[in-house]
C-alpha cells in the first residue's frame, strides 16, 4: 500500500489555467505538507497542515491555496498558472508537528507540473 499518494503524476497545462493536485496519506499522521522542488533541485516547504489547521504558510503567491478536508488529505489548488510555477510538487506527512525527532517526513512521489 502506498503511504503517501499524489495525483496526477504529470500535469501539463497552459498559462492562465487553474489546476489542482491531490494528496492522501494512509499512515494516520496528523501533519501534512506541500514542498516544491525547482529545477536546481532545491526542495522548499510551501505549506503545512496539522489536523486540518494551517500551521505553516511560507512566502508563496496567494494563487496557491491548500485545502485539507480531513487530516488524511491535503490538496493544492493553483490559480492563473505561470511559467515559473513549473516544478515538481511533493506532498509529505509526519506523525507530529511538535518534534523533529522520531517524526520523519514521508514523501509522495511528486507531481511534475509543466506550464507552457
In this structure, what C-alpha cell is assigned to residue 59? 512566502
Nearest CA among 77, 70, 61 for reference residue 22? 77
Residue ranges of the alpha helices (H) in the chain?
Answer: none
- Give the shortest CB-62-to-another protein separation in angstroms: 19
- Give the shortest CB-54-to-another protein separation in angstroms: 12
Binding site for another protein (CB under 8 A): 4, 31, 33, 35, 37, 40-45, 48, 55-56, 58, 90, 92, 94, 97-110
- Give the shortest CB-90-to-another protein separation in angstroms: 5
In order of 7, 46, 59, 89, 103, the CA distances from 95 in angstroms are 22, 18, 24, 20, 6
Which one, 13 or 37, has the nearer CB to another protein?
37
Pairwise CA distance, residues 98 & 85, whole Å? 30
Nearest CA among 14, 9, 28, 31 for reference residue 89? 9
First to last CA, the chain: 34
- Give the shortest CB-23-to-another protein separation in angstroms: 11
Which one, 16 or 104, has the nearer CB to another protein?
104
Amino acid at each position: 500500500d502506498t503511504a503517501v499518494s499524489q495525483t496526477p503524476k504529470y500535469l501539463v497545462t497552459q498559462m492562465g489555467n487553474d489546476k489542482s493536485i491531490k494528496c492522501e496519506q494512509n499512515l494516520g499522521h496528523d501533519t501534512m505538507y506541500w514542498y516544491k522542488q525547482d529545477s536546481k533541485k532545491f526542495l522548499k516547504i510551501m505549506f503545512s497542515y496539522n489536523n486540518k489547521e494551517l500551521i505553516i504558510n511560507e512566502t508563496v503567491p496567494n494563487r496557491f491555496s491548500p485545502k485539507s478536508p480531513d487530516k488524511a488529505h491535503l490538496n493544492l489548488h493553483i490559480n492563473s498558472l505561470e511559467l515559473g510555477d513549473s516544478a515538481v510538487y511533493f506532498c509529505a506527512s509526519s506523525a507530529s508537528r511538535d518534534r523533529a525527532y522520531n517524526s520523519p517526513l514521508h514523501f509522495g512521489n511528486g507531481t511534475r507540473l509543466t506550464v507552457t
